[in-house]
Amino acid sequence: MPSSNVTVETEIPALLARHPEAFSFHSSRMRMHRVSPEELRAMNAQRERCVDELADAGVDALLYACLVALMAQGPGEHQRVEKAVREQVDAVVLSSAGALVEGLQALGARRIALVTPYLRPLAEQVVAYLEAEGFTVVDWAALEVGDNAEVGCIPGDRVLGAARGLDLSTADALVISACVQMPSLDLVAPAEEEFGLPVLSAATAGAHALLRGLGLDPVLPGAGRLLAGAGRAAPPTIGA
């Protein structure tokens, strides 16, 4: 994960603590402070070191936890990176970018809306990436926060306010946080109730992908429709 991230190690453990299985959590950090194309590329270049560190811990599953770092590199990047990491470590390998795609597919969503914290040019790349995966992005918001540490401090009412400003009339699902650093876990269930459609985040999609990848039931209470049993019957093919 990015060195400036403070949210993954909060939201993912909080989610998986609701599962009957027990988990331990281990992370390795790639230097990145400002969410810019240059710093994202430099961060990605540190991947091999971080994977080696986690491989030494004998992890069962590894999540590449920076969605925009992969999506900013162009369509299909999560598949290329996951394949490269599998060649380096004997574990289930996932990414936040791939997890969001798979989570939306598990919900049967084709028309989606997004809230992102990114500067507009990076947000446009995220939109383009998802559209290349076959989704139609009906509306989206960019909160224009470039400092990754500040992204971790965005208040929930600002995120929810951005969601309220979207046109959701034709959306199948709302991604209330298309970023693992922007806190949103406490917003997912209330947003589903308010907007009347499935709501997910990079965190809930990541937890869903981890559980499915490990062959565990992807059901967690109070975490939105995705983790209420959606997609149980079709686990991803690891290594595909």
Which residues are identified as catalytic?
66, 179
d(CA 231, CA 218): 8
d(CA 78, CA 69): 10
d(CA 107, CA 78): 20
Instruction: Look up residue 103 and give its amino acid.
Output: G
Note whether 73 and 44 are within 8 A (CB): yes
d(CA 235, CA 210): 10
d(CA 26, CA 180): 16
First-to-last C-alpha distance (Å) of the chain: 23
d(CA 79, CA 59): 20
User: 105: closest CA among 240, 239, 230?
Assistant: 230
